[in-house]
Amino acid sequence: MTEKTEFVVRAVVLGAGATALMDVWAALLRQLGVPSLNFAFLGRWLGHLSHGQWFHESITRSPPVRGELVLGWAAHYTIGVTFAALLLGVFGLEWARSPSLWPALIIAFVTVIAPLVILQPALGAGLFSSKTPTPLFNSLKSVVTHAVYGLGLYLTARVTS
C-alpha cells in the first residue's frame, strides 16, 4: 500500500471510529437528559448555504431542506474524517502506526474551535453558545465531547495499528 493510500484509509478509519465514539457519548448524555446537536439542523444549515445563507437567527425556525437529516449525518462523519486527516497531516502516519494520546487530544482541542466559533453562531446560538440559556455549560460540553473524539482517535489508532 502506498503512503497516500495508507493516509486516506487511516483517515477514514480513524475519523469514523472517533466520530462513532463521540456519537455513543452523545447518546449517553441524551439518556441523562443532556441534549446534543440534532444533525438535521447541521444538514439544514448546509442546505441553506447553497442559497447563500450562512447565518440564521435560529436554525430551528429556518425552513427545512430536503434530506437534511441524511445530509447532516454525512457531514458529521465527513468532518470527523477531515479532522483525522488533520491529525495525520500534522503528526504523520508514524503516529497512527504507534499512537500516543497527547497528539489526538491536541487535535481534538483545536477542532473544538469549529463548533464554538463557526457552527454555533451560524445556527443562531451565538459565539460560544452566548445566546443560549446555558452558554458555559454548552461550551464545556463541546470541549468534553471533542475530548471524547480525541480519545476515539487514539483508541481507534491503537486497535488498528
| Lookup: cell for 30 | 441524551
What is the C-alpha separation between 13 and 159, in angstroms, rounded?
Answer: 11
Query: Tell me, what's the pLDDT at 100?
Result: 97
Query: Tell me, what's the pLDDT at 12?
Result: 98
Q: What is the mean pLDDT of the chain?
A: 95
Query: Tell me, what's the pLDDT at 1?
Result: 85
**Do residues 48 and 56 make contact, with C-beta atoms less than 8 angstroms apart?**
yes
In sequence order, the 6+-apart residues with CB closer than 8 A to the CB of 140 are none
Nearest to 10 by CA among 107, 110, 88, 100: 88
DSSP assignment letter at 118: I
Burial of 99 (0-12, 13-18, 19+ CB in 10 A): buried
First to last CA, the chain: 15
Query: Tell me, what's the pLDDT at 37?
Result: 84
Burial of 83 (0-12, 13-18, 19+ CB in 10 A): buried
Tens of pLDDT along 112-123? 999 999 999 999
What is the C-alpha separation between 29 and 115, in angstroms, rounded?
Answer: 18
Tens of pLDDT along 76-97? 999 999 999 999 999 999 999 9
Query: Tell me, what's the pLDDT at 9?
Result: 98
Mean pLDDT of 123-150: 95
Mean pLDDT of 26-42: 94
Query: Tell me, what's the pLDDT at 156?
Result: 98
3-state DSSP assignment of residue 8: helix
Sketch the domain layout of the chain as residue ranges: 3-160
φ, ψ of residue 151 in degrees (nearest 5): -60, -40
**Do residues 100 and 158 make contact, with C-beta atoms less than 8 angstroms apart?**
no
